[in-house]
Every structure is written in C-alpha cells, then in structure tokens.
Structure 1
Amino acid sequence: MPPGAGHHRAERDPLDGARHRRTLRELPPHPGAHGRLRAVGAGSVDASAGAVREFVVEADGGSRGNPGPAGYGAVVLDAASGESLVEAAEYLGVVTNNVAEYRGLLAGLRAARELDPDARVHVRMDSKLVVEQMSGRWKIKHPDMKPLAAEAARVFPPGRVTYEWIPRAENKHADRLANEAMDAGARGERWSSADSTAELDAGGAAGRRARGARTGDERETGAAADERAAQAVRAGAGAGGTPSPSSRAGTEGAPRAGAGERVGPTAPADDEDAPSTSARADAERARTGAVADAARAGGGAEGSRTGAVAESSRAGAGEADVRAARTVASPGWGPPDMGAPATFVLLRHGETPLTPQKRFSGSGGSDPSLSSVGREQAERVAASLARRGTIQAVVASPLARTRETAGIVAARLGLEVTVEEGLRETDFGAWEGLTFGEVRERYPADLDAWLASPDARPTGGGESFAATGARVAATRDKLVSAYAGRTVLLVSHVTPIKTFLRLALGAPPESLFRMELSAASLSVVAHYADGGASVRLFNETSHLR
C-alpha cells in the first residue's frame, strides 16, 4: 500500500536565506595546527612557504517531514589535526531534506573559503545523493537541486574540491549542528554558537579519529576517496551490479529523514537518506511488517485483453493494514537512496454498466458513469485509504467514471480533485461499446493488426497503444515533477494504469495483453530522482472483500 505520509512542498525559494541568515561559529585553531599541512595527494608542506592549505568539510542537513521543518550543520576541520575551525548551522524553515543537505554543503564550502579562498577541500557527507551528484557520477534532474549544485560548484575553482561518502556514525558533529538548528527553529529562535554542544556531543577531534575519520595522513587522497565512493555504489547494486530503484529509500516509501532523527543509539549508522524524522520509528517497525504478496488472479476489466496475473493477498485490516501502509516493500539490494520518491497510487475506477459485460469503454464512447456496484466499490476504496492515511493529493482522468470515483475518495480524505487530461483512457474508435467477440466478428483484420502491433489503431481512427504510451509517459514526467516526494492517488483506467506499470518495469508493449486489472483495484509505482522506478503493488483488491 502507499507509504507514510509527508508534508507539502515548501513554497519558499530554497536559495532564499534572508529570513534565517547563516550563523558561523569560529573556534580557536589548534596550536601549531597550520604549521605543516598536507595538500591533497601531494604530501606535507610548510604553510609559511606559501603552501596550499587543506580543509575537511563535514556537512549534513535534514527535515522533520519531507518537506518539513529543516536545518543544516557544517564544520570545517583542519586536515592535519582534525581540529574544528569553523561551525555553521541554520534553520531553513520548511524545505525538503535534499535541499537541506545541499544547503549544508554550501555553508561548509563558503566557511572554508572565508578561511582561505586558495585552500583545497575534501567534503565528507552521509548523503549519497549529494556526494554522487557533486562528483559527477549521477545526473541532477530535480529542479530544486540543480541551482544548489551549480552554486556549490562555483564556491571553489574546478578540481579544488573532492567528495567522499561516509556513514552517519562518522558525521555526528554536522548531524548535531543540524539538529540544534532545527531545535532552535522549533522554539522560534536562531541557532546560537554560544549554546552549541555539537562538538562535545560528537566527541571532538579525538572522537572523530576514534571513529576512523581520515584526517591528515590518515585521510585518503581525492582520487582514492572517489574510488571508495564508487566502490560503495557498486557494492550497493544487485546481482550483476544493476541498480535497483526499489531500495533507494532506507525504508520504502516514507519521506526521507534527515539529521533531525539520526540522534540516539537506535539510529542506523549507514542508512542513506532514510525516512522522515517524524516517521523513522514507524518506518523501522514497518521494515519487519508484511506487505501484500501476489497470490491469485484478478477479475475482469473493460478495454483489457485478459491474461494470467497475480492479485495481491494481504493480511487484512487493523494493525497489519497500517503497518503495510507505512512500507510498500522491504529494502532491496540497489544503490544508495535518491531521496523520497514521487509515489503514485494507481486506482482504476469502479464498475460501470459496461464493466461486467467486458465491453470496450474508452475516451471516445458514451462516457458512462458508475453503477451502484461501482459507487460501493469507490466507498470501500475510500475507507481503506482513509484508514491508512497516506494520500496527499488526488488526480483524476477527465472521464465521468474516474471523476466520480475520485470525488468519493477525495471527499472521505478531505482533499480536492485535480483533473489531468493525460490520464484518460485510450480512444477505441468504432470498437467503443463492443465486446471483444463482436469486434472479432466485425473487424477481424483490424483486430489482428491491433493485436500484432502497438502502432496499429482501432477501426475508425482510434488511438494506438504507441500513442497512448507516449501520452502517459509525458503525463508521468509532468506528475513526477509536480509531486516529487509526495504520495498521490491517480484515478484512471485500464490502459493508462497498465502503461504506468509497463514503463516502470521497462516491459515491451505486448505486456499490456498479459496484465489483468480489476475494477477499483490499487497498484503502486514509485518514481525516483534519477529517473528509476519501482513497482510496489499490483491489482490489489482486498479492500473490496
């Protein structure tokens, strides 16, 4: 079922720091800390002889909810001694976790530049997303991330900054700073360096070395760090090294957590970009919960060619239902987390008078409304989704049966319905209202061509599956951008929902003939920041029993 609830995306420009200006805390340098420094990959040199100084920046960011109240922390360390030179922390208001991570990176780089604009910097973060994107190994697609990454890249000249991923346990100082900033924001205050205990809580330089932080001669060169990060990515891949988007969140589907919840002995040490602060405990418990397993075939559907498929068998309502709602799939074996996905809960509309007769009913026919059975199905779906409490928005096809289904569910959830033209059913042309057998009898050649090629159109100028696929793909991209990090109910039809699933799986067009989709069934697909997708549920109908 759909993952845990989050919060609406912040409206404030993520680059706008006017309301909460960055606060820097300067710490006295360690005696002799700058006498001899080791440049990246070049050995130690005498600073008095004009040597290039070397800093380590540790940064972190988090949001309590995703988006939610957020903050960052960053510390600049002397590379030779591991001593803290500058701390930075700021409460950001309501933004996403990944924005907070990037803001922490920016603060750390700027603090290092203020110390020495000619220095070399080695950045250590527990965000795989930021490290891999800034290292150039992952593409930056999200519109909120691109300007932040570009700004971070401009702080120092190219080649002067290297990046390394570290486990959370090695990023305690920055983590504590971020938590302090969020705590201060919750009190309506600004973070105060005078009140900060982050370095003490993190164990200071001695504790950092004890945790294996590579500073001075212990730290890897930039090239070695990059290789280590690349190995970490490869190690996270499944068989054959193929990335699996299904594991890109520490616990599936819940909003990504940030620094705000990493404190405490039970916090995972290396769960990159995990669920939201407010949801971590629930998400951790949900890891052990059962999710629906495909068990048996579903029922009929107009506009669909029947075939053998699995319908999910679930544990029922109550506690198991809520647990399943918090996690859609157990963590897989894929690469690092890409932040909270856009999660689409795909609901096929309830029955119409044409549904039990298995007649073609697309967007070019009579546009039937729900039958009494269909309205009851919609009510049952609404009750099930309300019990789980995970849907944040409702989007529907413009056709009457989907708008009616969506309206019943949205009223129960207290949400509005947004109509999206791209979710409409395929236009079946002259086949509208006919059964498969009637089409076979009247238009045998056209039907054979349609079954053989996704480019073939139904008789009378209907829409081909290739055209439907292009339309649904464009709609998917639009919705992923609009609802990043949120869980959205999409109320649609057989062909568009099958197409969402086909595209997510990378399956060929003929796979549409091999899926059965019941009326008022639920399927779930999550879409990640790198363009990957994970099918989490298919043709779930337990709520109708």
Structure 2
Amino acid sequence: MTRARLVVEADGGSRGNPGPAGYGALVRDPRTGRVLAERGGFLGVTSNNVAEYSALVAGLRAAVEIDPDAEVEVRMDSRLVVEQMSGRWQIKHDDMRRLAAQARAVVAPDRVTYTWVPRAENAAADALANVAMDQRTTIARDLGRPDDVHPVVPGRLASGAPVRFDDAQPVTVVLVRHGETPMTVSKAYSGSSVVGPSLTDRGREQAARAAELVHSIGQDVWGALPDPSELLASPMVRTQETAAVIGARLGLPVRVEPLFAECDFGEWEGLTAAEIEARWPGQLERWHDDAAFPAPGGESIEDVGARVRAGLEAVRAAGVGRTVVVVTHSVSVRSAVGVAIGANSSSWARIRVAPASVSIVRLWADGASEVTVVGAPSGA
C-alpha cells in the first residue's frame, strides 16, 4: 500500500544569535500546494540553530497529527539541519542533539527526506517565525486535511453568474491592490519607474486583512470559486511586501510578474495632482479622460491595458479550473476589470480601487470572461 505524502516547510530565527528567537513551520499537501497546518512559537533567548531544530520538530508533529503514517519531505533553508538530519554531518551541540532525537522520535527516519531550499522558497515558514518573534506568541492553526481541498465543482454555479451552455471552467484571477504607502497618503502619483516606497504601518495592517479575505475565497466567501493555488505580484516594493503577507497566509510562494506593474508616470512620478497641473496645465485631466494619451516620458492607460491583457492571457493559457492571486496596482486593476468586461478604455479610470481591495475576474479558454467582484474592501 502506497503511503500518503506530506511536505513540511520549517524555519527558525534568532535576532542577535543568541537573542530573541522563534520558529515557524507548516504542512503542505504536495498535490495541491494547500497548507494544512501552521505552527509557530517564541523561544525566548536562544541560538538560530536551536530555533531551526525547534521548527523541524514542530512541523513533524503537525504532520503526524494529520497522517501518522505519511511519508514526509522536509524543506528548510538551513543547510546545517538538512545535512545533519540526513546523516552527512555530525551533530556536536547538546541542545541540537536533543532536538534531533526528538525529531527522529516523531517520525521514523526511513519515512523522512530532507531537502535544502533557497530562503526565497521558504518565505511562508519564515513569516510564521517572524510573527512568533514579533508578537512573542504561539501559533497553532489546523486548516484541513489533504482530502478537504475545495476544487472547482462542475455545476456549482454562483447565483447571478453569466449563463453558459457547457461545463467549461474558467481560471479565476483575484486582483489585490497593495496596501497604503506614504505616497498613497500624500496622493502623489507613484508608478513603476521607482521601485519604492514601502508600506506604512497601516498598509501592513491592510495587507494582513486582505490576506484573510483572500484566504477565505472558496470557503467562507465566494464559495463557488476554487481555492487560490498560485500567487503573482508586480515587482514594486509595495506589492512584494503585500504579496509576502498574503503568501504567508496562503502558504504560497510569490512569483514576480512585471506585466502587472503599475503605470509608468514618467515625469509625473512623485508629484501630486496640483503639482502636475501647475507644470503641465490640462494634461493630467486629459490623461484620465483619453486613455491613449501618455504621461510625459511615461505610459498611457491603454499602454497599461496592453500589458495587463498580456498578463491575463498568460494566466489563462497556463490552465483553467484554478484560482490565481495577483497583487498589483490601481491602474492595473482598473485595466484588468476593463479588459474583462470589454469596457471602453477611456472609462476605466472611473473604477474605484481602494488600497488592499479585492477584485475578481474569470477567464474561459474560449475567450469569454466575467467580472465577479470589483473593489471589495478588506475591512482595513
């Protein structure tokens, strides 16, 4: 009989080494990528290596709670733990020997394999460890079992959905605008020619609330949709920071997609509407009303629309029957909604897209599309 397989991702950290330390671990279903359990904890003052081993033990215990007979692949960015637990390096430190023995007692060594991964591929576990350290708290979330996934179900049609005369399934694209930045507060034009700024404290709170809303897709809200299984983000700092929070909640890695970058505002970058009007009288209003009119040295709304259309087509071509989350910007979200509904490009600027709001479009392989949600607030 073939054993079930689970993946454990684990990470630990110590601020000062030794210093205030914590760990994070999650269990993932390798078939779907879905996170089944999350664990984290604050350890007080200890070393980074002890924190890494503590993460391993917590992750293995969570896996056993899901399926005590499963084979487990452990993925960590600690070369030391991976090599020592694989038997290639000796364990010399007493605390690490004790924790290694605990790990071997949780799951028989012949049912565990260890894989080193780059830090960027261990972001979800790292985020849990940082929450544990920041809040000095314990995290224990059980999110389901491997057979509890929420795939798209033929015939499970939401009330009010467009009528189709076949069972074809679309790809669902969840568009999340990034959280607040200092430029959002000052109402300055913040485009793609400058990678910053970062989120404000309020922006990080908004990102966390958006993550909870996105996590509920296919479960508590918009139940006719499949669970998110892929996460894309614009290359800007604000979208990467927002996506990191969402990725930690979903248990998904973030893939950068430049096609969903914000509009390049050219010479208007960093200026308020009043400052732009003083130097380029009438041009900002024309940019909003005439989608073909570019910002000086930058892009028009139609330019952004062409990029976003290409991004949506790439998502559609990669497969239907799934949900893809895209963390992007206000002009890009308006463009995606406008493209999906077939609206005249000069009307896209009328769509309200607040920070950390969620919009949803659905794309079928035959070219049909649906706008499901526009600008749903995340509650922040």
TM-score in terms of structure 1 length:
0.39
Which structure has the larger Rg?
Answer: 1
Cα deviation digits, residues 19-70 of structure 1 (max 9, x gap): xxxxxxxxxxxxxxxxxxxxxxxxxxxxxxxxxxxxxxxxxxxxxxxxxxxx
Cα deviation digits, residues 268-302 of structure 1 (max 9, x gap): xxxxxx2xxxxxxxx4xxx6xxxxxxxxxxxxxxx
User: Which of 367, 375, 379 lines up with 1:539 in the alignment?
Assistant: 375
User: Which of 315, 320, 334 lines up with 1:498 in the alignment?
Assistant: 334
Cα deviation digits, residues 443-483 of structure 1 (max 9, x gap): 11433542443222112x10112211111111110111114
Give how far 1:331 is off: 4.5
Structure 2 vs 1, CA of residues 333 and 364 (structure 1 numbering), >3 Å: closer, same or farther?
closer
* Cα pair 2:289 2:347 within 8 Å, conserved: no
Matches within 5 A, 1:335-484: 335-365=164-194, 367-388=196-217, 390-459=227-296, 461-484=297-320
Letter in 1 for 2:334: K
* Cα pair 2:331 2:349 within 8 Å, conserved: no
Letter in 2 for 1:544: G
Q: Which of the two has greater strand per residue?
A: 2
Give how far 1:426 is off: 0.6
Q: Which runs of 4+ in 1 moved over 4 A?
A: none
Letter in 2 for 1:507: A
Cα deviation digits, residues 323-360 of structure 1 (max 9, x gap): xxxxxx41546231352210001100001111122110
SS in 2 for 1:544: coil
Cα deviation digits, residues 407-434 of structure 1 (max 9, x gap): 1110111111111010000100111111
* Cα pair 2:317 2:365 within 8 Å, conserved: no
Q: Once the two structures are aligned, what percentage of the paired residues are identical?
A: 38
Give how far 1:367 is off: 1.8
Give how far 1:436 is off: 1.2
For 1:476 and 1:491, locate their aligned partners in 2 and report how far apart those are by CA, in whole Å: 13
* Cα pair 1:256 1:339 within 8 Å, conserved: no
Structure 2 vs 1, CA of residues 364 and 336 (structure 1 numbering), >3 Å: closer, same or farther?
same
TM-score in terms of structure 2 length:
0.56
For 2:211 and 2:348, locate their aligned partners in 1 and report how far apart those are by CA, in whole Å: 27
* Cα pair 1:8 1:486 within 8 Å, conserved: no
* Cα pair 1:522 1:539 within 8 Å, conserved: yes
Structure 2 vs 1, CA of residues 427 and 380 (structure 1 numbering), >3 Å: closer, same or farther?
same
* Cα pair 1:502 1:508 within 8 Å, conserved: yes
Structure 2 vs 1, CA of residues 442 and 354 (structure 1 numbering), >3 Å: closer, same or farther?
same
For 2:290 and 2:191, locate their aligned partners in 1 and report how far apart those are by CA, in whole Å: 19
Specify the alignment match of 2:321 in structure 1: 485
Point out where structure 1 has 5 or more consecutive residues left out of the alignment: 1-6, 10-252, 258-273, 275-282, 288-328
* Cα pair 2:273 2:284 within 8 Å, conserved: no
For 2:246 and 2:195, locate their aligned partners in 1 and report how far apart those are by CA, in whole Å: 24
Specify the alignment match of 2:109 in structure 1: none
For 2:337 and 2:260, locate their aligned partners in 1 and report how far apart those are by CA, in whole Å: 14
Cα deviation digits, residues 303-323 of structure 1 (max 9, x gap): xxxxxxxxxxxxxxxxxxxxx
Point out where structure 2 has 5 or more consecutive residues left out of the alignment: 1-30, 34-149, 220-226
For 1:387 and 1:513, locate their aligned partners in 2 and report how far apart those are by CA, in whole Å: 29
SS in 1 for 2:173: strand
Specify the alignment match of 1:528 in structure 2: 364
For 1:380 and 1:467, locate their aligned partners in 2 and report how far apart those are by CA, in whole Å: 31
Structure 2 vs 1, CA of residues 340 and 450 (structure 1 numbering), >3 Å: closer, same or farther?
same
* Cα pair 1:346 1:492 within 8 Å, conserved: yes
